[in-house]
């Protein structure tokens, strides 16, 4: 969805005033016929619900407040003034995974920490995304030893950001990649890529609610 800014029509203030009056009339229900059609054409933006939802999700990511190691220091600085993630609506770090939809794995994950990370990921709301930040969580980096496990082994990861640690700009680039991915291809979420259908906490059939007056049960 593209939003452009442009000058009001040639009439300037006069036309602006005319539009205001039109809007008032429409709210009162007095606008009819071709005038109503013109007003709607000028002032209503149509889109699909899907696209609007994607647009909203991509521009309001809620990362989990979750730092693992040295990369977390770089992660903190993306909310600061220099690379301001608030420009893309991602500055609200949520302290509860229930309120977050983006997990930034900022650092090394030890095999003792892996179940904890996985639980946090499972607790996050859907749709959810994960960024593996830094060498350790994507390829184990210099800690390729008995203690560390790469994130791909135990959870789905959408974007890998290389670096040791990546500069905040690099993480920002990763977030923008993820944002573009969310905007363009919602069906590319991890469930379809990893064949994860049926692992939802609530399946679709469980979410079906019986209509109140629809049942024919009686006599009880």
Partner 1 sequence: MPDATGLELIAQDLRGAHGDDAVLGTLFFRDRATLDVQPARVIDVLAFLRERGFGFLASVHGLDYYPEEPRLGVQYELIDMTAVDRITVRLRVPVDAPHVPSVTPDWPTADFQEREVFDMFGVIFDGHPNHRRILMPEDYEGHPQRRDFPIGGEPVVFTYNEKRLEGDGG
Binding-site ranges for partner 1 (CB under 8 A): 111-112, 139-140, 144-148, 150
Cα–Cα distances in angstroms (integers) from residue 164 to residues 155, 157, 178, in the given order: 21, 18, 20
Q: b/e per residue, 63-91, with b = 16+ CB within 10 A?
A: bbbbbbbebbebbeebbeeebebeebebe
Residue 8 region by backbone torsions, left for phi larger than 0, else alpha for psi between -120 and 50, else beta: beta
Q: What is the nearest approach in angstroms of partner 1 to the Cβ of residue 113? A: 10
Q: What is the nearest approach in angstroms of partner 1 to the Cβ of residue 141? A: 9
Cβ neighbours around 54 below 10 Å, total: 19
Triad 37, 41, 44: Cα angle to 5°: 115
Is the Cβ of residue 149 or residue 171 nearer to partner 1 in the bound state?
149
- Token pair belonging to 145: 């030893």
Q: What is the nearest approach in angstroms of partner 1 to the Cβ of residue 140? A: 6
Q: What is the nearest approach in angstroms of partner 1 to the Cβ of residue 115? A: 9
Alpha carbons 102 and 178: distance in angstroms, whole number: 10
Is the Cβ of residue 146 or residue 202 nearer to partner 1 in the bound state?
146
Tell me which residue has tokens 């892996």: 114
Walk across the sheet containing 159-161 and list its strands: 102-106, 129-133, 159-161
Is the Cβ of residue 144 or residue 203 nearer to partner 1 in the bound state?
144
Q: What is the nearest approach in angstroms of partner 1 to the Cβ of residue 175? A: 23
Is the Cβ of residue 142 or residue 184 nearer to partner 1 in the bound state?
142
Is the Cβ of residue 20 or residue 144 nearer to partner 1 in the bound state?
144
Is the Cβ of residue 103 or residue 148 nearer to partner 1 in the bound state?
148
Alpha carbons 104 and 101: distance in angstroms, whole number: 10
Q: What is the nearest approach in angstroms of partner 1 to the Cβ of residue 152? A: 10
């Amino acid at each position: 969805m593209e939003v452009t800014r442009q000058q009001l029509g040639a009439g300037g203030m006069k036309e602006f005033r005319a539009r205001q009056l039109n809007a008032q009339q429409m709210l009162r229900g007095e606008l009819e016929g071709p005038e109503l059609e013109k007003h709607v054409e000028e002032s209503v933006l149509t889109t699909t619900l899907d696209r609007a939802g994607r647009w909203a999700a991509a521009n309001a990511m809620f990362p989990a407040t979750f730092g693992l190691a040295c990369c977390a220091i770089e992660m903190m600085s993306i909310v600061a003034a220099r690379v301001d993630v608030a420009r893309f609506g991602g500055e609200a770090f949520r302290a509860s995974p229930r309120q977050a939809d983006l997990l930034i794995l900022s650092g090394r994950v030890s095999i003792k920490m892996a179940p904890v990370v996985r639980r946090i990921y499972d607790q996050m709301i859907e749709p959810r995304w994960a960024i593996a930040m830094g060498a350790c969580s994507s390829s184990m980096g210099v800690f390729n030893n008995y203690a560390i496990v790469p994130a791909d082994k135990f959870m789905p990861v959408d974007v890998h950001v290389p670096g040791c640690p990546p500069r905040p700009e690099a993480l920002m680039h990763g977030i923008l990649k993820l944002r573009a991915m969310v905007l363009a291809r919602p069906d590319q979420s991890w469930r379809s890529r990893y064949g994860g259908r049926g692992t939802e906490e609530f399946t679709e059939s469980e979410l079906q609610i019986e209509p109140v007056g629809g049942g024919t049960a009686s006599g009880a």
